[in-house]
C-alpha cells in the first residue's frame, strides 16, 4: 500500500473544500487556522514518505533542521563540478538570506548577471544581455529568488492541490519549496552536472513540478517531455540535452526509457514517481527512495550552487514539436521565466494572494510553454493555488475537477472549448421546446451585451438581469466557471463561431499569442482590451514590429522584450534565422494591426499560395471565413499553388474517439443542427456523402459563394470544392504526411493537380498562437 501511494507524501489534512480554508482570510486569520489544524494528529501509516509528523510538515524555513555535515570527498567527486561560476558567495550568507526572507517578507535581492556581450547564445552555459529598457527595467531575478519571495509572502498559502483517494490534499508554499530543495539535493547525489538535463516524462503532478524546479535549483536544465512521445522522440530529447537523470511517471513510461537507455551516454539514473517500481535495477529509484538520497547533501552545498546561478543564464529547455524537422531546444533563462511570469500576470489582472488567492487547474501538458507558464511560474509569482486534474481530464473528467476547484483563471486550447461547446449543444438538443426558446432568447441578449462591452458600451439590454438569473449563472456553475474571471485560449486559432457561442453565454474567452521562443505570451487579450478574433495587445515592456508590409497592411510579426529566448541549444544557424542582427524575434506569422492597436493573425509566410498568375494568397483567412459561414465544416484546406484557380478540401464536424483521437462517422451536434436546419435527416458523414442531398450541397455552395463575394480579386475565389470522407487526424496520418492525403483523394477519384500543401505544414501554419 505504501508503494501504491508513494507519490503523495505531502498530506496537509486540510480536509473538505480546501478553497474555503484560505479564501477571504487575512494573514492573522490564516495563521490562527493553521495553529488550530496543527493541534490535531495524522496517521503516519497514511504518509508514504514517513513525514515525521504534521508539525514538521508545516514548518517554515526558519524551522528547518540545521545543515548537515559536509559529505565525504568520495561523494563529492562522484557529483562532478557544480560550481563553475564566478559569483559564488559564502554559504552562511545564503542561509541567512533564506531565513531572513522567510521571516521578514519580500525583500530586494542582489542582481546576479553573468558577463555577456550578445543578445543570444547557443551554449548551454552561455549568458545573454537582457533587453532592459525603461518600461522593462525592474531587477532580474533567478528562479530561486522569486520562489523565496513567494515563500516569504505566501508561505502558509496553498501552492498545490492534488486528489488522493477522492480527497483533495494540499501543499503550502513553504512545503513546496522544501520539497524542491529535497529533490535538488537528490539530483546532486545522483550526479547531476551543471547545465545538464533532467528530463521529465509524465502527466502533471506535484512530483512533476518539484522535479522541474529541483533540477533548476541543482544547477541543471529542466526539460519537459511530452507523455505521448515515442521512445525515439524521448531518445532525441534526452541525448540532445545530455540528460543525467530521467524522471518518469509510471511503468509504461519507464519501459520507453529502458528501450533507449543504452543510447544515452550521459544518463546516470531513472526515477519513477508514481506506483510501485516493477523493474529492479541499481539505477532506478522510486520517488520515495529518490528523495531519501539527498539526505547526505548539505544545505551549504546546495546553497552554493543556488548562489552561483545568474538570471541571464539558461534554466529550462522547451523542445519544439519538430513537425518541420528535428525538434529544437528553446533555451529560456531565469529572467525569461521570472520576468514573463510577473508581466503576464500583471497584464491579465491577476491578484496577489495577500488580497485574493487565484486558483488554476493544471491539465494541459506542462512540457508546453503555455501550460508551464500558466500552471507553474505565474502562480508562483502571485501566490496562486494550482490544482491538478486527473490524467483522463480530456476524456471527460475535466468538468468534474472544474466544478470542485472552481478556478478563477482557466486556460484551454481551442479543442477544449470546442468540446465543451459540443457537449452543451448536445444537452441543449435534449431540452424541451420551452427551455430551448428561453435559452435562445437569453443567448441573444448575452451576445448583444458582450458586443456592447467590447465596444465600451456599459448599458445592458432590457431583460438581461432575468436572462442572467435563468441561464448565464446556471451555465457558469455547471461548467465550474462561476468564479472564473479570466478564461483564456491559445496554442491554435479558435473560430469566431466558438467565441460567439461563449460570448452569448457571457463567458468571454481571451486569446493569447506567442511562441516558446517568447517564453509564452507576447500579446494578450483582457477585459479592458478585447476585440473578437484579435490576439490583443503586447504586454508591458514588449514591442511588436510588422516587417515588410504588403498592400493589405499585413507583415511578418516580430517580437522584442525580455521574454525573448536565449537561442536554440547547439543550433547557431537556426538561431540566426529566428533572431535578426538587432535582436528582433521573427515569428514567421503574418499579422496586421487595426486602428486601435489590436493584433490580428492573417497567416504564415511559408504557407503563402502563389497561383499560376503570380498572385500571393494567404489561405488562412479564406479557410477561416469558410468555417465561419458553414458551421458544419471542421477543416477547410485551400489548394492552388502554381495552379490556375483555387480549390478546397472540406471535412465535416464529427465525433472523435477519446482513446485514439480518430474521427468517427457520427456527426457532431453542430453538423447535425446544420443538416436539420435544411431538412436533411443525416446523422453520419456517410449519410451526407452517400445521399449527396442537393439541399445540403447547395447550402455549402451558398456559404462558399458568400466567402467569394468578399474576395478582393477573382484569383482569391474558390472555384471547386469537395467533401472528404473523414476529418483530419494524427492517427489517420492526414496531419502527418502529405502522401496519405493524396492517396485518400485519389481513392475517391479526386484529381490531384499540382503539389499539395502538406497538411502537416498547415497545422504548423496555424499553431503560432502561444505554442512551441
HSE-up (13 A, CA, CB side) for residue 282: 2
Beta bridge partners of 652: 633
**CB proximity list for 77: less than 8 A, separation 6 or greater:** none
* pLDDT tens figures, 224-269: 999 988 899 899 999 999 999 999 999 999 999 999 999 999 999 9
User: Residue 551: pLDDT above 90?
Assistant: no
d(CA 524, CA 644): 39
Binned at pLDDT 50, 70 and 90, residue 401 comes out as: very high
Task: List where CATH 3.40.50.12780 sits in the chain.
Answer: 409-482+485-606
HSE-up (13 A, CA, CB side) for residue 154: 30
Please tell me the predicted confidence (pLDDT) of residue 482: 96
Binned at pLDDT 50, 70 and 90, residue 40 comes out as: very low
Please tell me the predicted confidence (pLDDT) of residue 320: 86
Mean of pLDDT values over 700-726: 91
Render 437-495 in DSSP notation, one character per residue.
Answer: HHHHHHHHHHHHHHHHHHTT-----TTHHHHIIIIIHHHHHHHT-TT--EEEE-SS---
User: Residue 608: pLDDT above 70?
Assistant: yes
d(CA 389, CA 721): 42
Residue with cell 551543471: 194
Mean of pLDDT values over 617-644: 89
Name the phi and psi angles at 315, rounded to 5.
-130, -20
User: Residue 25: pLDDT above 90?
Assistant: no
Q: Grid coordinates representing 61?
A: 524555513
Beta bridge partners of 329: 319
Mean of pLDDT values over 671-697: 90
Query: Which residue, among 235, 162, 167, 142, has the nearest Cα to 204 in the 3D structure?
Result: 162
Q: Grid coordinates representing 540?
A: 508591458
0.95 surpassed by pTM: no
d(CA 5, CA 186): 20
Residue with cell 498568375: 613
Please tell me the predicted confidence (pLDDT) of residue 60: 33
CATH code of the domain made up of 19-118+143-309+348-393: 3.40.50.980
User: Residue 129: pLDDT above 80?
Assistant: yes
Binned at pLDDT 50, 70 and 90, residue 207 comes out as: very high
How close are the terminal C-alpha atoms of the chain, in Å? Answer: 39
Please tell me the predicted confidence (pLDDT) of residue 106: 54
d(CA 126, CA 38): 46
Please tell me the predicted confidence (pLDDT) of residue 642: 77
User: Residue 11: pLDDT above 70?
Assistant: no
User: Residue 412: pLDDT above 50?
Assistant: yes
User: Residue 509: pLDDT above 70?
Assistant: yes
Largest CA distance in the chain: 83
* pLDDT tens figures, 300-324: 999 999 999 999 999 999 998 644 4
SS3 assignment, position 139: coil
Count of beta carbons in the 10 Å neighbourhood of residue 221:
26
Please tell me the predicted confidence (pLDDT) of residue 403: 96
CA dihedral 339, 340, 345, 348 (to 10 degrees): 130
In CATH, which of 3.40.50.12780, 3.40.190.10, 3.20.20.70, 3.40.50.410 is domain 409-482+485-606?
Answer: 3.40.50.12780
d(CA 499, CA 486): 14
The per-residue pLDDT of the chain, averaged, comes to: 82
d(CA 431, CA 439): 10
Please tell me the predicted confidence (pLDDT) of residue 621: 85
Mean of pLDDT values over 715-742: 72
Binned at pLDDT 50, 70 and 90, residue 37 comes out as: very low
* pLDDT tens figures, 473-482: 999 999 999 9
Is the pLDDT higher at 104 or at 45? 104
Point out the least confidently predicted range of 249-258, 435-444, 489-498: 489-498
Please tell me the predicted confidence (pLDDT) of residue 735: 60
Please tell me the predicted confidence (pLDDT) of residue 734: 60
User: Residue 753: pLDDT above 50?
Assistant: no
Please tell me the predicted confidence (pLDDT) of residue 528: 86
Q: Grid coordinates representing 191?
A: 550526479
Task: List where CATH 3.40.50.980 sits in the chain.
Answer: 19-118+143-309+348-393
Q: Grid coordinates representing 477?
A: 456553475
Beta bridge partners of 271: 247, 285
The alpha carbons of the chain give a radius of gyration, in whole angstroms, of: 27
d(CA 4, CA 509): 39
* pLDDT tens figures, 446-474: 999 999 999 888 889 999 999 999 999 99
Name the phi and psi angles at 430, rounded to 5.
-90, 0
SS3 assignment, position 267: coil
Mean of pLDDT values over 131-146: 89
Q: How many whole angstroms from its chain centre is CA 72? A: 42
Please tell me the predicted confidence (pLDDT) of residue 659: 66
Beta bridge partners of 39: none
Amino acid at each position: 500500500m505504501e508503494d501504491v501511494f508513494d507519490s503523495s507524501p505531502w498530506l496537509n489534512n486540510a480536509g473538505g473544500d480546501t478553497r474555503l480554508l484560505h479564501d477571504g482570510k487575512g494573514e492573522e486569520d490564516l495563521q490562527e487556522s493553521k495553529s488550530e489544524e496543527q493541534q490535531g494528529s495524522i496517521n503516519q501509516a497514511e504518509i508514504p514518505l514517513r513525514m515525521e509528523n504534521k508539525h514538521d510538515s508545516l514548518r517554515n524555513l526558519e524551522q528547518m533542521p540545521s545543515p548537515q555535515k559536509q559529505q565525504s570527498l568520495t561523494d563529492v567527486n562522484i557529483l562532478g563540478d557544480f560550481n563553475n561560476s564566478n559569483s559564488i558567495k559564502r554559504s552562511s550568507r545564503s542561509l541567512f538570506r533564506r531565513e531572513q526572507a522567510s521571516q521578514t517578507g519580500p525583500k530586494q535581492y542582489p542582481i546576479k548577471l553573468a558577463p555577456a556581450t550578445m543578445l543570444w547564445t547557443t551554449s548551454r552555459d552561455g549568458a545573454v544581455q537582457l533587453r532592459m529598457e525603461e518600461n522593462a527595467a525592474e531587477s532580474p531575478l533567478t528562479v530561486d529568488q522569486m520562489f523565496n519571495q513567494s515563500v516569504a509572502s505566501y508561505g502558509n498559502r496553498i501552492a498545490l492541490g492534488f486528489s488522493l483517494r477522492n480527497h483533495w490534499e494540499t501543499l503550502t508554499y513553504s512545503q513546496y519549496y522544501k520539497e524542491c530543495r529535497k529533490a535538488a539535493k537528490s539530483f546532486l547525489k545522483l550526479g547531476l552536472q551543471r547545465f545538464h538535463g533532467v528530463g521529465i516524462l509524465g502527466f502533471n503532478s506535484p512530483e512533476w513540478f518539484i522535479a522541474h524546479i529541483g533540477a533548476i535549483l541543482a544547477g541543471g536544465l529542466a526539460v519537459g517531455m511530452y507523455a505521448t512521445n515515442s521512445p525515439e522522440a524521448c531518445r532525441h530529447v534526452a541525448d540532445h540535452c545530455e540528460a543525467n537523470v530521467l524522471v518518469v511517471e509510471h511503468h509504461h513510461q519507464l519501459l520507453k526509457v529502458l528501450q533507449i537507455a543504452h543510447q544515452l551516454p550521459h544518463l546516470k539514473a531513472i526515477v519513477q514517481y508514481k506506483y510501485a517500481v516493477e523493474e529492479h535495477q541499481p539505477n532506478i529509484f522510486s520517488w520515495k527512495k529518490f528523495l531519501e538520497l539527498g539526505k547526505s547533501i548539505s544545505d551549504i552545498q546546495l546553497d552554493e550552487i543556488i548562489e552561483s546561478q545568474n538570471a541571464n543564464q539558461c534554466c529550462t529547455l522547451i523542445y519544439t514539436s519538430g513537425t518541420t524537422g528535428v525538434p529544437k531546444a528553446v533555451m529560456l533563462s531565469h529572467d525569461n521565466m521570472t520576468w514573463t511570469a510577473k508581466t503576464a500576470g500583471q497584464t491579465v489582472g491577476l491578484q496577489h494572494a495577500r488580497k485574493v488567492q487565484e486558483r488554476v487547474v493544471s491539465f494541459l501538458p506542462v512540457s508546453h510553454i503555455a501550460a508551464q507558464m500558466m500552471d507553474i511560474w505565474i502562480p508562483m509569482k502571485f501566490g496562486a493555488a494550482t490544482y491538478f486534474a486527473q490524467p483522463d481530464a480530456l476524456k471527460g473528467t475535466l468538468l468534474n475537477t472544474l466544478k470542485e476547484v472552481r478556478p478563477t483563471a482557466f486556460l484551454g486550447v481551442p479543442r477544449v472549448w470546442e468540446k465543451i461547446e459540443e457537449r452543451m449543444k448536445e444537452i441543449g438538443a435534449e431540452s424541451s421546446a420551452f427551455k430551448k426558446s428561453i435559452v435562445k432568447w437569453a443567448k441573444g441578449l448575452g451576445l448583444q451585451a458582450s458586443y456592447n462591452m467590447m465596444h465600451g458600451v456599459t448599458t445592458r439590454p432590457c431583460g438581461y438581469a432575468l436572462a442572467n438569473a435563468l441561464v448565464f449563472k446556471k451555465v457558469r456553475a455547471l461548467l465550474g466557471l462561476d468564479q472564473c474571471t479570466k478564461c483564456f485560449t491559445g496554442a491554435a486559432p479558435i473560430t469566431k463561431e466558438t467565441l460567439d457561442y461563449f460570448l452569448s453565454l457571457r463567458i468571454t474567452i481571451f486569446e493569447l499569442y506567442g511562441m516558446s521562443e517568447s517564453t509564452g505570451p507576447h500579446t494578450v487579450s483582457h477585459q479592458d482590451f478585447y476585440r473578437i478574433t484579435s490576439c490583443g495587445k503586447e504586454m508591458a515592456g514588449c514591442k511588436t514590429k510588422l516587417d515588410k508590409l504588403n498592400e493589405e497592411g499585413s507583415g511578418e510579426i516580430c517580437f522584442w522584450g525580455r521574454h525573448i529566448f536565449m537561442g536554440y541549444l547547439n543550433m547557431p544557424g537556426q538561431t540566426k534565422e529566428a533572431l535578426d542582427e538587432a535582436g528582433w524575434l521573427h515569428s514567421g506569422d503574418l499579422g496586421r494591426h487595426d486602428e486601435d492597436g489590436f493584433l490580428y493573425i492573417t497567416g504564415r509566410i511559408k504557407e503563402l499560395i502563389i497561383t499560376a498568375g503570380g498572385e500571393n494568397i494567404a489561405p488562412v483567412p479564406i479557410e477561416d471565413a469558410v468555417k465561419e459561414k458553414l458551421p458544419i465544416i471542421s477543416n477547410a484546406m485551400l489548394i492552388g499553388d502554381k495552379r490556375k484557380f483555387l480549390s478546397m478540401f472540406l471535412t465535416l464536424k464529427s465525433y472523435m474517439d477519446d482513446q485514439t483521437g480518430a474521427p468517427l462517422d457520427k456527426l457532431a451536434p453542430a453538423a447535425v443542427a446544420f443538416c436539420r436546419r435544411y431538412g436533411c435527416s443525416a446523422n453520419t458523414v456517410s449519410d451526407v456523402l452517400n445521399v449527396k442531398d442537393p439541399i445540403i450541397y447547395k447550402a455549402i455552395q451558398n456559404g462558399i459563394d458568400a466567402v467569394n463575394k468578399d474576395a478582393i480579386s477573382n484569383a482569391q475565389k474558390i472555384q471547386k470544392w469537395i467533401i472528404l470522407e473523414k476529418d483530419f487526424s494524427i492517427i489517420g496520418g492526414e496531419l502527418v504526411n502529405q502522401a496519405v492525403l493524396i492517396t485518400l483523394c485519389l481513392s475517391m477519384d479526386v484529381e490531384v493537380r499540382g503539389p499539395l500543401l502538406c497538411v502537416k505544414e498547415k497545422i504548423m501554419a496555424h499553431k503560432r498562437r502561444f505554442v512551441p
